[in-house]
Amino acid sequence: MDEPKLELKNMWGHFLTINKHKWEVAKACFKAGLYRQGITHDLSKFSPSEFFTSARYYKQGVSSPVFEERDAHDGASYVEQHHHGHNPHHWEYWIHVNFKGKPIKIPPKYVREMVCDFIGAGKVYRKKDWTRSLPLEYTQDALARKNRLYHYATEELLLRLLTDFKDIGFDAIKAPHAHKVLKEIDYATAPEVDYDGKSIADLEFDFVGENRKKEIEAPVVDLSQTAEKVPESVRQNGLYGRGRTDEGPLPITKDAPSADRAIK
């Protein structure tokens, strides 16, 4: 399949969409005290590796170029690969490829930026339908569908911060409250890599990463919030205006712009 033509109007439209998202995330980061991250968030979107391909697949700012590129390339998006590999607020950045895709514990400052990213994206794409509970509901839905792979401690931290943000607002992701939560869940003592709930000290790997020792039962983490019923509006509209069913993404309509197809 031939690549779409690179048009000036799409380059300009994509540039504006990126900046709308960056502005909302920057405001959230500044309120949370993440000043440097608020400025540097998603700067890779302006790189030639991401910008020009994304502009080719631009869809008036309601559908992500990433997903359009996937549709054209048997599910592969090279823009997405580059973006996730250069932005540590994405969970994909923290997958330990040397040991069969095990998740690494994400540093708390990037978990907090992840929350700000959810807030900013939701405000851009859901507009007047955005509420403080939406980032939590979106994450619960994603976890229920098992399309996220977090370190078990990171997942607990993320859910705590999102739950507290729903209840108390931006104070939940400021450093004092975040540090309190980190102590409560004993984040520092969790292993750096989640080898199915075990630390590397419990394992013996050969050069291809095979576990030679007896399996050790993974710790039980209370994530009961993920079992709460997700509102149908979130199921249908996601965080960004377009949701998914178990069979795949819902079709884009004029009145329901992209959700999972948000700018990555």
- Report d(CA 151, CA 106) in Å as an integer: 8
Residue with tokens 């170029």: 65
Q: Is the pLDDT reported for residue 207 higher than 50?
A: no
DSSP structural state of residue 239: T
Q: pLDDT, tens digit, for every residue of 154-185?
A: 999 999 999 999 999 999 999 999 999 999 99
Strand partners, 104: 193
Give the Cβ contact number of residue 146 at 10 Å.
7
Inter-axis angle of helices 134-144 and 152-168, nearest 10: 150
Opening angle at CA 146, ends 40 and 192, nearest 5: 55
Residue 201: phi, psi to the nearest 5? Answer: -65, -25
Instruction: Select, from the ranges 61-70, 139-148, 194-203, 213-222, the one with the highest average predicted confidence (pLDDT).
Output: 139-148
What residue ranges do the domains of the chain occupy?
Answer: 8-249
pLDDT value at residue 126: 82
Please list the residues that pair with 1 across neighbouring strands: none
Considering the entire predicted model, what is its pTM?
0.76
Give the range among 45-59, 89-103, 128-142, 186-200 with minimum mean pLDDT.
186-200
Q: Which of 91, 67, 88 is nearest to 79 (CA)?
A: 67
Identity at 153, one-letter amino acid code: A
**Binning pLDDT at 50, 70 and 90, where does residue 237 land?**
low
Of 116, 130, 225, 121, nearest to 178 by C-alpha is 116
- Joined tokens for residue 87: 């932005």
CB 79 within 8 A of CB 69: yes
Q: How confident is the model at residue 258 (pLDDT cuts 50, 70, 90)?
A: very low
CA dihedral 191, 169, 261, 159 (to 10 degrees): 30
Contact 239, 135 (CB under 8 A): yes
